[in-house]
Structure 1
Amino acid sequence: MARIAFVCPPFAAHLASFRALGEELARRGHEPCFLLNAGASGSTGSIPIHHVPERRGDPAVGRVLASAEKPGGLIATLRTIADSAALTDQLCAGGREQLRQLGADIVVGDQMEPAGYLLARSLDLPFVGLACAVPIDPAPGVPLPFLDWPYEPESEGKLRRTGKIAKTMSRKQNKVIAGWAERFGIGGLDSLEACLGPVQMAQMVPALDLPRPDPLPFVPIGPLRRPEEVAGVPLSFELPTDRPMVFASMGTLLGGDIRIWRSLAQACRLAGAALVLTHGGRLGPAEVASLDVHHAADFLPYRAAMRHAALVITHGGSNTVLDALACGVPLLVRPVGFDQPGNLARIRHHALGEELASLRRPRAIADQIRRLLADASYTSRCAEVADALERAGGARRGAELIEAAL
């Protein structure tokens, strides 16, 4: 039995993936727990959350999360990086004492939160890194995750320039990393990439990723999902029988934008498809009633719904993309930020779907829907990725890697 500390950003999608991994570890007799920023919460089930102390001047987690949900181009990206640096600083300041009190035997840290690696190194604990989102590990020809550029191995000069730009954008975060590395007596760490650690795993699999040279820097384990999320559970609505079903989710980022749903509803009607959507509780009853769609809900069990879908429309969040492909369903993607453009680049590379046409052009979206539904090659390629995701092992494989690191 081992006490396993999870250190990850306080975002719902990351917490969900770690929860699935933690519940598998608990079934094996281990004691997982979360070490999170002050005030962070989320759906972690029976896995306890421990918080580091809040300090004067620290950003409130609620404000950080609300800010991250507002798309805004470069300014929003810089704001999110600055907030992330402050959260890392808070975790490093209070995390060592918390890990000592918890008697942690190992730290499992999210790639996007360098505090996990810094804290593990400072206490001489084993560390396993996890890429919940698109892996940030550099590779020849692979653009940064927040870019939707294609795989271009001959464009290393361009990629190096964007790497320098990214380093400039991450200056605050890099300063925090270097400062705590020096205080912890580690040295030589001054970037997020330097805190990945030698043992890594990722939800990404080669069948979906852009090409990387062997050996891979991480073990591809596929989606981290709880058994009940994978199982076929009953749906709360009647499935369409006369039209193909399109399932749409824009996450919390765009779930409340009624203009998006009106455009997609019109496009699906023009394409002769039935639209089922989840808006994350961001729409009121009157707005939902005005849409004229087959079904709209605050939340739905994604895989249970996607198994009946012929197409998924999404903002391109990693968990939604992985769930759609695990069900063998092609995608139309409208990325907003974070790693969503990187997911779109991979979907394009493997011809698993397309970028969603302008929301101002419902007829163009309807043409896309008809084209993807009529082309069986999309479904065939998605089925191949579904098989690769299934074989990767998910939470079971992740737990095995953590046990090996122990």
Structure 2
Amino acid sequence: MRAVLITPPLPSHLRAFEALALELTRRGHEAVFVTEPGVALQGGMAQAALPGPPARPQPRRLPAEILAGARRTGRLCRDAPPVLRGLAPDLILGDQMEPASGLLARALGVPLVSVACAVPMDPEPGIPLPFLGWPHDPSARGLRRNAGGERVADLLMLPQSRVIRRWARTWNLGDLRRLQDCLSPDLTLSQTVPGFDYPRPANGARIAQLGPFRRGQERQEFPSDIRPDPGRPLVYVSLGTLQGHRAGLLSRIAAACRQAGAQVLVSHAGCLSEDRARAIPADWVRAFVPQQAVLERADLCVTHAGLNTALECLAAGVPMLAVPLTHDQPGVAARIARCGAGLRLQPWQRGSSRIRDAAARLLSDPRFRASARGFAAQADRWPGAAGAVDRIEALVSSRTRATG
């Protein structure tokens, strides 16, 4: 089987897709990424780059990010068809956040499997869009509120919607407008785990909850130059690979957690200068740390509520204080609070006293750690990338039998 993989060039998405590609090749299949020029992959993955100059760096502000995403979708739809015809794939693995994968699969008649690197976008009555931190509410009131949120999303995503509609009309695919219109009707591979996402009784059967595709197999060592006092709690603070530049918020979190009696380790993912990093009032500030090893020692993680970090915390049995910033992080934070593994702070709740009180509560109330450890007890059975490829192979096999 030859699979083509299409994903936005975001670090966490690329790493998840690389894990899928590695498992596919391990089983004797071919896996080829179709990307814009200049996208660097790890592990020597096969790659077919589109013609033309490299894309601009990913912007940080949401409006510019949406415009960049619309340009990327348009470029894929314009330039990828001859590349795909040359590759003759048996399957397209498409990131849910890149609608070009669904448009191209439909236009070329290639089976599509959607990949949810973040919270699944698959529509479900009562579940708000991932960027909304609202609860699951299938009542009439909840459905009305979700519909209002979707109208706002439609306005924000108008540049992307225009590109989707233009290419759907060009290829006679019907009236497709939204990201959700471009998903696979057959299978979504999700990194969420049972008990974490909201219930999906209507459309959840096509979603395979598999856990992180990329899980560290090698034992990580805790940094030798960081020596926490075993008699005091250790709080690990990370805002992910794209938000580590928020020095003011990192400083406020560090100071508040120290006021709560904790030792604090901050990782800024290389987003700060040495001078700005030194100004953060934490016990230790690092550009990067071996996160898995740190979580094994931590008593609490203060996180931006990126799904990868949230799942790593659950796998380690570490409670979380979620401070969501953008994208699907509000939805992830709502699920952290719902499953009992942590608390979340809304944007208007991020003063020092609120952060201090929330951290103190999480460190003193054993119920949060007990909930996180309940997930950790199941982590070894999360199928991850191997389970994803099992589902892919089963889908391709069933289609082959149906057409043969």
Whether TM exceeds 0.5 here: the answer is yes
Q: What SS does the corresponding residue of 2:277 show, helix, strand or coil?
A: helix
1:124, distance to aligned residue in structure 2 (A): 1.9
Structure-2 residue corresponding to 1:384: 374
Q: What SS does the corresponding residue of 1:9 show, helix, strand or coil?
A: coil
Query: How many angstroms apart in 1 are the aligned matches of 2:199 and 2:37?
Result: 39
Query: Which of 87, 97, 104 is matched with 2:82 structurally?
Result: 97
Q: What SS does the corresponding residue of 1:380 show, helix, strand or coil?
A: helix
Greater Cα shift, 2-11 or 387-396: 387-396
1:98, distance to aligned residue in structure 2 (A): 1.0
Q: Deviations 1:64-96 (Å, cap 9, x if unpaired)?
A: x1x2x23xxxxx3x4433321221110011111
**1:325–1:386: 8 Å Cα contact kept in structure 2?**
yes
Structure-2 residue corresponding to 1:80: 65
User: May I ask how many residue pairs the two structures share in their alignment?
Assistant: 389
C-alpha spacing 1:343/1:168, structure 2 compared with 1 (3 Å) = same
| CA RMSD in angstroms, aligned pairs only | 2.2
The yes-or-no answer on 1:205 pairing with 2:193 is yes
Greater Cα shift, 108-117 or 357-366: 357-366
The yes-or-no answer on 1:116 pairing with 2:101 is yes
Q: What SS does the corresponding residue of 1:89 show, helix, strand or coil?
A: helix
Query: How many angstroms apart in 2 are the aligned matches of 1:359 and 1:189?
Result: 38
Structure-2 residue corresponding to 1:31: 30
Superposition pairs of residues 308-327 of structure 1, within 5 angstroms: 308-327=297-316
The yes-or-no answer on 1:242 pairing with 2:231 is yes
Query: How many angstroms apart in 1 are the aligned matches of 2:105 and 2:24?
Result: 19
The yes-or-no answer on 1:301 pairing with 2:290 is yes
Query: How many angstroms apart in 2 are the aligned matches of 1:247 and 1:369?
Result: 11
Query: How many angstroms apart in 2 are the aligned matches of 1:45 and 1:331?
Result: 31
Greater Cα shift, 306-315 or 210-219: 210-219
Q: What SS does the corresponding residue of 1:251 show, helix, strand or coil?
A: coil
Query: How many angstroms apart in 2 are the aligned matches of 1:359 and 1:188?
Result: 41
C-alpha spacing 1:359/1:275, structure 2 compared with 1 (3 Å) = farther
1:214, distance to aligned residue in structure 2 (A): 5.0
1:404 alignment partner AA: A
Structure-2 residue corresponding to 1:51: 49
Query: How many angstroms apart in 1 are the aligned matches of 2:354 and 2:151?
Result: 37
Query: How many angstroms apart in 1 are the aligned matches of 2:72 and 2:343?
Result: 35
**1:128–1:405: 8 Å Cα contact kept in structure 2?**
no
- Identity value in percent: 36
Structure-2 residue corresponding to 1:365: 355
Structure-2 residue corresponding to 1:73: none
Query: How many angstroms apart in 2 are the aligned matches of 1:161 and 1:367?
Result: 33
Superposition pairs of residues 219-258 of structure 1, within 5 angstroms: 219-226=208-215, 229-237=216-224, 238-240=226-228, 241-258=230-247
1:242 alignment partner AA: G
Tell me, which stretches of 5 or more residues in structure 2 are unaligned?
397-404
1:385, distance to aligned residue in structure 2 (A): 2.6
1:351, distance to aligned residue in structure 2 (A): 2.2
Query: Which of 153, 171, 174 is matched with 2:161 structurally?
Result: 174
Query: How many angstroms apart in 2 are the aligned matches of 1:360 and 1:350?
Result: 22
**1:84–1:173: 8 Å Cα contact kept in structure 2?**
yes
C-alpha spacing 1:364/1:161, structure 2 compared with 1 (3 Å) = closer
Q: Deviations 1:347-377 (Å, cap 9, x if unpaired)?
A: 1222221124768633432222221111111
Query: How many angstroms apart in 1 are the aligned matches of 2:350 and 2:49?
Result: 44
Greater Cα shift, 347-356 or 302-311: 347-356
**2:125–2:202: 8 Å Cα contact kept in structure 1?**
no
Q: What SS does the corresponding residue of 2:302 show, helix, strand or coil?
A: strand
Structure-2 residue corresponding to 1:128: 113
**1:310–1:373: 8 Å Cα contact kept in structure 2?**
yes
1:115 alignment partner AA: A
C-alpha spacing 1:33/1:44, structure 2 compared with 1 (3 Å) = farther
**1:372–1:378: 8 Å Cα contact kept in structure 2?**
yes
The yes-or-no answer on 1:260 pairing with 2:249 is yes
Query: How many angstroms apart in 1 are the aligned matches of 2:125 and 2:378?
Result: 23
**1:54–1:90: 8 Å Cα contact kept in structure 2?**
no
Tell me, which stretches of 5 or more residues in structure 1 are unaligned?
71-75
**2:93–2:101: 8 Å Cα contact kept in structure 1?**
yes
**1:126–1:405: 8 Å Cα contact kept in structure 2?**
no
**TM-score normalized by the length of structure 1:** 0.89
Q: Deviations 1:237-284 (Å, cap 9, x if unpaired)?
A: 344123221111112443123222322222232222121121111223
Q: What SS does the corresponding residue of 2:56 show, helix, strand or coil?
A: helix
Superposition pairs of residues 309-348 of structure 1, within 5 angstroms: 309-348=298-337
Superposition pairs of residues 142-157 of structure 1, within 5 angstroms: 142-154=127-139, 155-157=142-144
Structure-2 residue corresponding to 1:403: 393
**2:116–2:191: 8 Å Cα contact kept in structure 1?**
yes
Q: What SS does the corresponding residue of 1:307 show, helix, strand or coil?
A: helix
1:180 alignment partner AA: W
Greater Cα shift, 81-90 or 333-342: 81-90
Q: Deviations 1:174-222 (Å, cap 9, x if unpaired)?
A: 2222222232343343321111112211112341111221551311111
Which 4+ runs in 1 deviate beyond 6 A? 357-360
**1:208–1:346: 8 Å Cα contact kept in structure 2?**
yes
1:389, distance to aligned residue in structure 2 (A): 4.7
**1:151–1:349: 8 Å Cα contact kept in structure 2?**
no
1:292, distance to aligned residue in structure 2 (A): 4.8
